[in-house]
Amino acid sequence: MTGKQQEQAPGPEEYKAVTALVIPESEHPIREQQLDREALKVLYRLRDAGFKGYLVGGGVRDLYLGRAPKDFDISTDARPGQLRQLFRNSRTIGRRFRLVQVFFRGTKIIEVSTLRSRSEFDINGKEQVLPSNNTFGTLEEDAFRRDLTINALFYEIETHTIIDYIGGVRDLDRGVIRMVGDPDRRFTRDPVRMLRVVRHAARTGFGIEEETFAALRQHNEELRLCPPSRIRDEVLKDLQSGASRAWAELCMRTGLWPALFPFYDEYMQGEQGEKIQKELLNIFTVLDRLHARQEEAEPVKVPETLLFAALLLPWACLRFKLPETNVRGQGFSHLSRIIREDVDRAFGEPFNVQRMAKESLTTLLVNLSTFYHARSQGDDPNWLKKKSYYGDCSRFFDIYQESQGVPAVKVERFVVPHKDTGTVEVVTPAQESNGESRARGRGGVNPAFSSTKTGVFGLRRPRD
């Protein structure tokens, strides 16, 4: 692909004299009408206010590949304070890097970030880490601080061009996942980047570039140095992605799987290991089938605890002899306690799972045997249908059955109807500082009083 060259300011020290490839509209597939309407509103308001605005990251990547983007993120040379003045329906989030979220009807959010410069390219020393403050920069500097080449592209709304500093378009054309810069250095600075490499390879079906793949295998153990909650959130994204099977296969090939889930180590050796891997992949296939409806009018929502329970299922079945184990009374309570303790030790503590979620995981796993033996005798008994956990546990058992080759999961049981909640109200600084008190929650109406005879909670509004 050809494109005219445009000289830009020098980038990081390791990438001096970088020239951007500017690809005109006639040479790329992205068209303005494909962009989200609200994203266009933000981009044109930035332009009209004298700022530069670019569609960035996954939005450009997906549009180039002919896919519908999940998010339309925007970068600009406007500072966060200027963005807040420009978009009154917005708020600022983030500590290390401040982003501005612009709200629209139907809970739609467009995230706008200021172009940044500070990255490991700008600092010396292997152990030196990034400072916690914003450092604003140029378009070129922002490109080099991004993780993957295919996510470091910019779409300029005024001229309808794609701006590429690091060969992202070439890698899109070739189907390659490549780190920006030295993968060894970048994985050492932030090991979570390894999960992003695997995620995008799984979702796009692209191959991982040789040097990046070698660095994945070399540094996978460093994932254990990351905050547990951060790893948990990243894994959850992959379980919800609709490409969880491909993600798991790549994790096993690159050595990330034992680094993420060491409790599987002793069970994934020899013939038994092949069986466990097959069971895991079968479960992820079921989850992917469910999430395939995500873009439809009524998307699927699989509860997070159910996703984590599915991840633990082959391990739990082997460890606790599920679902064949059939216990009642004290035996059931004893098994519940053992499962709770082992789940907490293997998964709850390492992934910083909240107590309520751990209880839900235990309930799902221990009742696998309950449903197994109940359905072996026919339909679920009435006493089981009356249990508070019946809905989630029955859906979980359906996933288990389908992973064993018995079609059981009805997608409709996971469907969440769309709801238009209207405009999201954001309190502006002027409203916050005008000295008027503002009732919370119900538009200023105090729910403790009522004009009815009995009132609410026994309280009636006093008469004048």
Contact 94, 114 (CB under 8 A): no
The one catalytic residue in 62, 147, 171, 238 is 147
User: Is 164 known to be catalytic?
Assistant: no
Strands (E) across 127-218 are located at 153-156, 161-164, 176-177, 207-208
Spatial separation of the C-alpha atoms in residues 225 and 260, rounded to whole Å? 11
CB atoms within 10 A of CB 379: 9
Q: Return the closest-CA partner of residue 104 out of 89, 88, 87.
A: 89
Contact 199, 247 (CB under 8 A): yes
Spatial separation of the C-alpha atoms in residues 100 and 300, rounded to whole Å? 28
Q: Return the closest-CA partner of residue 354 out of 241, 264, 228.
A: 228
In sequence order, which residues have a C-beta less than 8 Å from that of residue 285 and are 6 or more positions away?
245, 403
Spatial separation of the C-alpha atoms in residues 193 and 251, rounded to whole Å? 13
Spatial separation of the C-alpha atoms in residues 247 and 235, rounded to whole Å? 10
User: Is 71 known to be catalytic?
Assistant: yes
CB atoms within 10 A of CB 305: 21
The one catalytic residue in 62, 73, 77, 171 is 73
Q: Return the closest-CA partner of residue 144 out of 5, 298, 20, 4.
A: 20
Q: Return the closest-CA partner of residue 8 out of 113, 101, 117.
A: 117
Identity of residue 108: K
Exposure string over 122-147, b if 16+ CB within 10 A, otherwise e? beeeeeeebeeebeebbbbbbbbbbb
- For the chain, the straight-line distance linking the first and the last C-alpha, in angstroms and rounded, comes to 79
Spatial separation of the C-alpha atoms in residues 213 and 188, rounded to whole Å? 14
Spatial separation of the C-alpha atoms in residues 358 and 305, rounded to whole Å? 8
User: Is 380 known to be catalytic?
Assistant: no
Identity of residue 298: E
Which residues are annotated as catalytic?
A: 71, 73, 147
